Amino acid sequence: MHHSYAVNHLKHLESESIFLLRETIAQFQNPVILFSGGKDSIVITHLARKAFWPARLPFPLLHIDTGHNFPETIAFRDRLVEEIDARLIIGSVQESIDKQRVVEEKGPNPSRNALQTVTLLDALDEHQFDAAVGGARRDEEKARAKERFFSHRDEFGQWDPKNQRPELWNLFNGRKHHGEHFRIFPLSNWTEMDVWQYIKLEKLELPSIYFSHDRETVQRNGVLLAVTEFITLLDGEQVQTLKVRFRTVGDATCTGAMESPATSIEDIIKEVAAARIAERGTRTDDKRAETAMEDRKREGYF
């Protein structure tokens, strides 16, 4: 029998991610998965279950909750947690504000995006997590293109992009001093397209906001924002009900929608293939400055 021992790119990526998740369990005392309810963290959770099957998911899930949520995402999160019998920990930005750890932004579009970093670092500290597994991908953003799989954070949770540990072959160095931690990015080598193809292949369920639906929106700074209780309409802004979907799931005040008729994964894959705007192009948080992501990451952002 002729045999090529070839596997397709999705199998390759899946295998690599499973290897990294197993390394995470083996090298750290108390790792956690950062779970936003977005598709990348859903894929990570799925891969983690596969990596340790038939044993239970060995990681708890940590959701940094900005309070500015789409209710569909929260409902999805709670259903998934129950279905897979996971332990869910919630770090609340509202609580950080109430405890005066952070101060809410002013203005018509107050974003809690930057505040999340404090809540995240506080939660990691409170629960003594020494590794936080995230769904960030290198293709998302130019500062993320420089990330490691095992990314070191100092005792202040800071990332130093100029002083990163080289990663060779499949040898990952998770050694650290007391008080330091690691961010682990098993999807580093995946692209948005790979994630969608994998979701289709594995028949994963997603929150409904990824698919086309009618929603009240407002056009602001080139981004189509959902009209929610968290934003204040400005003079002259028109509310329009459109058929939209979301490409990323985040704080409702900075995650833009796109007009789309896509109601299935297949439709979305076609749309992604034809897209001319980057996935995070609908995020106002990245548009605040050219190096907005690098600046936030240095501080300890996702």
Neighbours of 270 (CB within 10 A): 13
Residues 31 and 34: their CA atoms lie apart, in Å, by: 10
Residues 200 and 221: their CA atoms lie apart, in Å, by: 33
161 binds other proteins (CB under 8 A): yes
165 binds other proteins (CB under 8 A): yes
Looking at 19-27, 69-77, 126-134, 229-237, which segment touches other proteins (CB under 8 A)?
19-27
CB of 28 to other proteins, least distance (A): 12
The three-point CA angle 189-164-294 to 5° equals 70
Strand partners, 216: 241
Residues 79 and 44: their CA atoms lie apart, in Å, by: 17
Q: What is the x/- site pattern for other proteins, positions 197-236, by CB under 8 A?
A: x---------------------------------------
Q: Which of 1, 203, 238, 273 binds other proteins (CB under 8 A)?
A: 273
Token duo for residue 91: 């770090």
Nearer to other proteins, 14 or 251 (CB): 14
Q: Which of 101, 146, 243, 288 binds other proteins (CB under 8 A)?
A: 146
**Cβ proximity of 173 and 224 under 8 Å:** no
Nearer to other proteins, 110 or 281 (CB): 281
Residues 183 and 230: their CA atoms lie apart, in Å, by: 30
The binding site for other proteins (CB under 8 A) comprises 4-16, 18-19, 22-23, 25-26, 49-56, 138-139, 141-146, 161-162, 164-171, 173, 175-177, 188-189, 191, 193-194, 197, 269-270, 273-278, 281, 290-291, 294
